[in-house]
Chains A and B, each alone.
Chain A
């Protein structure tokens, strides 16, 4: 009998004579029974579908741990783009000039980067560059403003009518259509008007109407009157006075047959409209009709 004949027998590899010999052996019946019963044995149930699903789930969990970085990377990319955009726009907006405008009947205090102060009268606008402020104190002005300049480098107020340059002082600049007035309250102000430079010591005013310099007396107070809610005029043509009234009270002014070039000296209130109308009309010997937000000045016919 060959080696491992039992294994060979199970595999049908025994020769006929070997098989005959084996079948004749006493153990053959036992072997046959053992094999027959063994063949009915079954391994425990194995749910291969369930096991595959479990592995796939585990795999996804595993994979997702690796993949997780991608949406994060994407997020970082987006965040970087957004940050760049924001930074860009921040610098762009920063490089734009600051622009401050007041409406009718409004005045506003603005503190500049070096703590200089600007009080902006009604319907006025200033613009300056906050970024370049340290190197160049330069302000563009339309309308009227009072400046309290901190000591430092040259401080320039540029207007259409002229440029005012100072080192550290308090002064008022009024720049309205054709009307340009600078009043110095402290220190020394240099006014460049029509290419001519005028040094303006404290307590002096510079006035030009339609490009013509007009000598005027200095201020009586150490701050412009409008800062105390009054408008003060000394020998100023009536039309500028009426313009100022319109700005301060937000009332539309109309005139009928009035000489608006006549000079006016006086003060009107910026808060009390009735009082202001009287302050203007009585010295000028004109009449007014006040309705709603409109006022009409007309000649007193009895005269």
Chain B
């Protein structure tokens, strides 16, 4: 699972860079899904990896991954969670253009509904759902990031999907 060599020291530039490359995007997305704020996500990545560098002598490469998630998470611990989330997704248009205009319109409508309901989900459900669906993270990995059991992640996943279905079908 770990892409870094455990024998190496995080203080070494190469090791640090490889840890960064392996985890920075997920840290970014993780914070982005939570708050729907790109700037905060960028700041979190910075903060987490600068802290990792400062403590590179104390943190083993094996622990580095959970370390950066903890730092990123703690950074916004006190941020008001009620902040309205408006997630934007980079790729909104369909790749295949040989579909009928009606179909494309329907698809886009559906996407809009999905976006809205996702934004309305509780933060932990949304984050878990998107990490799994968009980033392809396993429940186990998400459990490690969030510091909860796999079962709790399964529950969130289940509830997220259930709520999405209920709300989209309602609209």
A interface vs B, CB < 8 Å? 3-8, 10-11, 27, 30-31, 33-35, 37-46, 48, 51-52, 54-55, 58-59, 62
Chain A hits for B103, CB < 8 A: none
Q: Which label, helix, strand, loop or mixed, suits the secondary structure of the A interface? A: helix
Contact of B91 among A7, A38, A41 (CB under 8 A): A41
Contact of B133 among A4, A31, A38, A54 (CB under 8 A): A38
> When the two chains form their complex, are residues B158 and A5 in contact, meaning their CB atoms are under 8 A apart?
yes
9 tightest A-B contacts by CB? Answer: A7-B157, A7-B154, A4-B158, A4-B154, A42-B91, A6-B158, A42-B90, A6-B161, A38-B133
A40 to B41, CA, bound (A): 21
Chain A hits for B42, CB < 8 A: 51
Chain B hits for A45, CB < 8 A: 90
5 A-B pairs with CB atoms under 8 Å apart are: A7-B158, A30-B168, A41-B89, A55-B46, A62-B50
Chain A hits for B111, CB < 8 A: 37
> When the two chains form their complex, are residues A31 and B161 in contact, meaning their CB atoms are under 8 A apart?
yes
> When the two chains form their complex, are residues A44 and B50 in contact, meaning their CB atoms are under 8 A apart?
no
> When the two chains form their complex, are residues B161 and A51 in contact, meaning their CB atoms are under 8 A apart?
no
Query: Chain A residue with minimal CB distance to B139?
Result: A11
Q: Compute the total of residue contacts between A and B using a CB distance below 8 Å.
A: 112
> When the two chains form their complex, are residues A43 and B28 in contact, meaning their CB atoms are under 8 A apart?
yes
Q: Which label, helix, strand, loop or mixed, suits the secondary structure of the B interface? A: helix
**Residue B162 at the A interface, CB < 8 A?**
yes
Q: How many interface residues does chain B have, given as a range?
A: 35 or more
Chain B hits for A27, CB < 8 A: 165, 169
A113 to B165, CA, bound (A): 106
Binary contact track B30-64/A, C-beta < 8 Å → 1, others 0: 00110000100110011001100110000000000
> When the two chains form their complex, are residues A30 and B154 in contact, meaning their CB atoms are under 8 A apart?
no
A58 to B46, CA, bound (A): 9
**Residue B129 at the A interface, CB < 8 A?**
yes
> When the two chains form their complex, are residues A43 and B29 in contact, meaning their CB atoms are under 8 A apart?
yes
CB distance from A191 to the nearest CB of B (A): 84
Chain A hits for B129, CB < 8 A: 38
Please report which residues of chain B, range 125-171, place their CB below 8 angstroms from some CB of chain A when the two chains form the complex: 129-130, 132-135, 139, 151, 153-155, 157-158, 161-162, 164-165, 168-169
A51 to B32, CA, bound (A): 15
**Residue B76 at the A interface, CB < 8 A?**
no
